[in-house]
Structure 1
C-alpha cells in the first residue's frame, strides 16, 4: 500500500480507502463486513470513511464495533472520517450545519464509533441557511476541544471553498483541510468547474467518492448483464446506477476500457482507481467492498505505474 499526505497537511492516508455508504450496516452483513475490514487492514489500508446518515447511524455503529470490539485494534492504527448535514430525524434542528446540529452530530458519531476523537469530520454538503462564520467557528471549536483533529467538506463548490477559506483567514480559525467530491473517469467535473483548482490553491487534499462510478467501471455490468449480488440488482440502493447499466454506448466504452486494463495485466477496477490517483492532489479513493476479494483487488491499484500514454488511451475511449 502507498500512503499520501492530505494536501499540505501532515496526516497521511492510504491511497485506497474503505467507505461504508450503502454497505456496512446496510446491504452487507456483519460477518462479511468484519472480513472485509480485517482484509483491508491486513493489506495496509488505514483510511475508513463513513457518515452519520449512512443507514441512520448503523454504518458508524458497525465500524466502531468491528474496530474496537471484534478486531480490537488500537485507535492510532486507523484514520476515521465521518460527516454530518442530512436530516437524521423529524426534529427541525437535526439537520444542516448549525452550531447546534454540528455539535450534537459529532457527539453522537463519537459514541457510535466508540472513540473519543474523529480524525476528519466533514460537512456532507454546503448549508446555505447557516452563515459561513457559524460553520467555521463550530468546527474550529470542536478541534480546540480535541473532539476533531481536522475538518473538511464534501461536494462544496469552488465559491463555497473560497468563502470558508476567507472566513477562517479573517478570524484565524482552523481551515478545512480536505474536500470529498465525486470523481471518476466518467464524472470528472471537478477538473473544469474550479473545485480542484480551489483545493490546490488552499492546500486541501481531495478524497474522492465513487471512483468506480458505482461499480460500472469494474466491468461487472458488461453487456448490460446485472449480477444478482450487485448493487444494481438491489432496488434499495440501485437508484444511483440503474440508468448507467442501460446506457449501451457507455457500456461499450467500459468494455473497451476493460480490454485496455487487461492488456497491462490489471483489472478495470484497478485501472479506474489508478486513473484517479494519477493526480497528485488526490490523496485517497474511497472504495466500497462487499467481499474481501474486492478489497485485495482494489489495493492493487496503488501499484500501477500510470503513464501519460495510458491516460491518453483512456481519453480516446471515453471521449
Structure 2
C-alpha cells in the first residue's frame, strides 16, 4: 500500500468506505472487512453521521487497534434522528459530539461537510470548523460535492478570518463520471485541497459484474432499491458493453477491472485517495492491489477512447 499526504495526515491511496456496512446485524461482515483492510495497509476509514449504524460498527471493528495507526474521516450535513441537518454551528457541534461517542474516539482526523448549506452563512460554518480544530476535537476539515465557486469562497473566507483552510474535497469521480474535471479539480489544485474520490468503481459497474441485456445478479447493489435509484444513469447496455471491453483491457495488463478503474482515479492529477466500499474481504484485497499501479499514457488514451460519448462531464451537474 502506498500513502499520500492530506494536510498533516498520511493516508492510504485506497480507503475503506462504510456506507455499505451500516447495520449492526452485519457486524461480523464489518469485522472481517476492516481486519482485511488493516492487513492490506489501508489506514483511511470513511464514514458519516447519516450512515445508519456505520460509525458504531466501525468502532467495534477497530476496538483494540492503536488509534495512532488509522485515520477516521466522518461527515456532517444530512439530518439524523429527527434533527434538521445542515451546517449551522448548533448542528455541527451536536453531530461531532454524537460521532465521537459512536466512534469511541477522542478526536476526528477529518470532518467533512457532506454538502454545501446555502441556508447558513459560510462564516458560521468555517468558524465552527476552526473552533473544533483549535480545540483538538478534529485535526482537519474538508468538503464533499461542493462546486468550484463554493470551494474558492471557503478558502478566501478562511484566509480572511485567519483560520485553517479545508484540506480536502470528496467528489464522485471515476472513468465514466468526470464532472469534477471541468472546474472542481482545478479549484482544488489552486487552493491546495487533496481529492478523496468516492465511487471510483461507479458503484460496482466498472467491475464487470453487470452484463448487458441481463438483470442485476441477486444480492448486488443494483438489485436493491437504493442501487436502482443511484445507478440508473450508468446501468445501461451501451455502458455495460464498453465495460466488458474495459475488463479485457485490464486483463491484458494483468489487472482486474476494479484495479484498473481505481488505478485510473489514482493516476489523475490532484487525487490523494480513492474510497471503496466492500462487503467481502476478497473484494477489498482486490481493490487494495490497485495502490501503486501506474498507467502509461497509451493505456489512459485507450480508456478515453473506450468510453468516448458515454462520459458524464457536464460541470453544471456538480453541487
TM-score (norm 2): 0.93
- Provide the rounded CA distance (Å) in 2 between the counterparts of 1:181 and 1:153: 9
Shift of 1:186: 0.6
Give yes or no for contact 2:16–2:44 (8 Å, CA) kept in 1: yes
Aligned: 1:146 with 2:136: yes
Q: 1:62 aligns with which of 50, 57, 64?
A: 57
Instruction: Please give the alpha-carbon distance, in whole angstroms, between the structure 1 residues aligned to 2:122 and 2:226.
Output: 35
Q: Helix, strand or coil: the match of 1:312? A: helix
Q: Distance in 1 between matches of 2:94 and 2:115?
A: 17
Which whole-Å CA distance do the structure 2 matches of 1:199 and 1:236 have between them?
Answer: 30
Residue 216 of structure 2 corresponds to which residue in structure 1?
226
1:88 counterpart residue number: 80
1:5 maps to 2:11: no
**Counterpart position of 1:307:** 296
User: Separation in 1 of the partners of 2:8 and 2:299?
Assistant: 31
Change (3 A) 1:27 1:67: closer
Corresponding residue for residue 174 of structure 1: 164
**Aligned partners of 1:77 and 1:16: how far apart in 2?**
15
Instruction: State whether residues 171 and 195 of structure 2, in contact with CA within 8 Å, keep that contact through their aligned partners in structure 1.
Output: yes
CA distance 1:26–1:234, shift in 2 (3 Å): farther
Mapped partners of 1:24, 1:2: distance in 2:
25
RMSD value, Cα = 1.3
Give the structure 2 partner of residue 105 of structure 1.
95
1:225 Cα deviation from its structure 2 partner: 4.4
Q: Displacement, 1:89? A: 3.2
Q: CA deviation at 1:285?
A: 0.3
CA offsets per residue over residues 104-147 of structure 1, 9 Å max, x none?
Answer: 10010000000000000010000001011101000000111111
Aligned match of 1:132: 122
Work out whether residues 181 and 209 of structure 1, in 8 Å CA contact, stay in contact via their aligned partners in 2: yes
Could you tell me how far 1:303 is from its partner in structure 2?
3.3
SS in 1 for 2:58: helix
For residue 279 of structure 1, report the CA deviation from its aligned partner.
Answer: 1.9
- 1:224-243 CA deviation, whole Å, 9 max, x = no partner? 44221211122244421245
Taking structure 1 as the reference length, the TM-score comes to: 0.93
Determine which of 30, 45, 50 is the counterpart of 1:33.
30
Unaligned runs of 5+ residues in structure 1 are none
C-alpha offsets along residues 175-209 of structure 1, whole Å, 9 cap, x if unaligned?
100000000001111111x1101110111100011
SS at match of 1:301: coil
SS at match of 1:153: strand
Q: Partners of 1:46 and 1:62 in 2: how far apart? A: 16
Cα drift, residue 270 of structure 1 = 0.3
Alpha carbons 2:23, 2:57 under 8 Å: kept: no
Q: Return the alpha-carbon distance in structure 1 between the equivalents of residues 292 and 162 of structure 2.
A: 40
User: Any conservation in 2 of the 1:119–1:149 contact (CA below 8 Å)?
Assistant: yes
* Aligned residue in 2 for 1:49: 46
In structure 1, what is the Cα distance between the partners aligned to 2:99 and 2:153? 27
* Structure 2 residue ranges without an equivalent (≥5): 309-319
Q: Distance in 2 between matches of 1:304 and 1:168?
A: 36
Please tell me whether the aligned partners of residues 28 and 290 of structure 1 are also in contact (alpha carbons under 8 angstroms). Answer: no
Structure-2 residue corresponding to 1:163:
153
